[in-house]
Structure 1
Amino acid sequence: MNSSRHRLRIARTVAALPALALLIAVTGCSSADDGASVVVPTPDSKVTKLCQNLDKALPRKVDGLDRDDPGPRSALTAGWGSPAIILRCGVERPAKMLDPKVAHGDDPAAVGGRVNGVDWLMEKRDDGSYRFTTASRVTYVEFTLPTSLAEDRDSALVDLAPAIKKAIPVGIAD
């Protein structure tokens, strides 16, 4: 290989390093970082205010696990335990909410239900974890249960219901 081609490859590799560093920083990936990392929703100001109120009302413990919020810190996200139960407020409406198979109870991976006055869409994921999203509220709140906690799903729903009822009014999300 001639030296000018070799220098060009080195220059391209060096130029790609900032992009790789940014990717690692944005995704929160690090071999030394065991903390949870989530994508923070970006709702409008009205929904953000509701989510800030929810953050203040959330319990210190969910399913017996202490609150340990994920990074980046935000009033729109919360977490409990490790592996973490993750809550995100102000998320987009899940596509499954529009799926007629779900509405008719024909999708075993997604079902609706009500726990302590809060309506939920429950979706079982391929990895065995669950995602729950509020329904019939003026904004969507989702939380995910890791596979290791999926067996006792109802406890987390019961623990979160009072805060959601207090902070997120019943209604139709935009």
Structure 2
Amino acid sequence: MNLFRPRPVVLPSLALLLAAVGCSSADGDASVAVPSPSSTVAELCRNLDQALPSTVDDLGRRDPSPASTLTAGWGNPAIILRCGVERPGKMSDQEADGVEVNGVGWLLEKQGNGSFRFTTALRRAYVEVTIPEDRTANGMAPLVDLASAIKKAIPEGIAD
């Protein structure tokens, strides 16, 4: 069985890569699909929701619709967190890009719209964070802000 192992990356170089993406605008409130995890994972996600910071990357919390303890958001355009997502297929790819930020491993995937999606690795629940293109100038600052809550609420291990 191939387990995704994040490779440490020097943060400043990735911040420069993210900053080079550019900017565009998006208006309106965020709407996201709410994951449907097992009851065990849903409980971990509820614990995470209670531990999440009120600000991420200096942006106030502004949750997407529909309201759920499995999703959270900050700013507009929103940095979106979804807890209890399915394991990304890319985690089986030995060439996949991974980073470690403050003790939390992440799979890094650049999206076609210029955003970046990060998914936790080696945790009992998969947590996905999407940073929209307009918010990439600060690199992985959102992941730094979220690391403490994730370490507190989502234990290390393999997700169900």
Band of TM-score, shorter chain: 0.7 to 0.9
Tell me the alpha carbon deviations over residues 50-82 of structure 1, each in whole angstroms, 9 at most, x when there is no partner: 000000000000000000000000000000000
Unaligned runs of 5+ in 2: 1-26
- State the 1:101 CA deviation: 2.6
* TM-score scaled by length of structure 1: 0.75
1:56 matched to 2:50: yes
| CA distance in structure 2 between the partners assigned to 1:164 and 1:74 by the alignment | 17
1:136 counterpart (98, 116, 122): 122
Among 147, 155, 159, which residue is 2:141 paired with?
A: 155
The aligned counterpart of 2:107 is 121
Q: What do residues 125-168 of structure 1 show as CA deviations (whole Å, max 9, x unaligned)?
A: 12110000000101100010000111222210100000000000
Partners of 2:111 and 2:150 lie apart in 1 by: 23
Higher relative contact order (CA 8 A, sep 6+): 2
Based on CA coordinates, which of the two structures has the bigger radius of gyration? 1
Structure 1 unaligned residues grouped into runs of 5+: 1-32, 103-110
Q: Which runs of 4+ in 1 moved over 3 A?
A: none
RMSD: 1.1
What amino acid is aligned across from residue 55 of structure 1 in structure 2?
A: D
**SS across alignment from 1:91:** coil
Number of the residue aligned with 1:84: 78
The percent of aligned pairs where both chains have the same amino acid is 63
After TM superposition, the score normalised by the length of structure 2 is 0.81
SS of structure 2 residue aligned to 1:42: coil
Matched, 1:45 2:39: yes
In the aligned structure 2, how far is the partner of 1:140 from the partner of 1:153? Answer: 21
Structure 1 counterpart of 2:20: none
The equivalent of 2:88 in structure 1 is 94
User: More helix by proportion, 1 or 2?
Assistant: 1
Tell me how far apart the structure 1 counterparts of residues 119 and 139 of structure 2 sit (CA, whole Å). Answer: 13
1:70-107 CA-partner distances (Å, limit 9, x unpaired):
000000000000000000000000111012332xxxxx
Q: Deviations over 1:24-68 (max 9, x none)?
A: xxxxxxxxx921100000001100000000000000000000000
Tell me the secondary structure at the aligned position of residue 139 of structure 2: helix
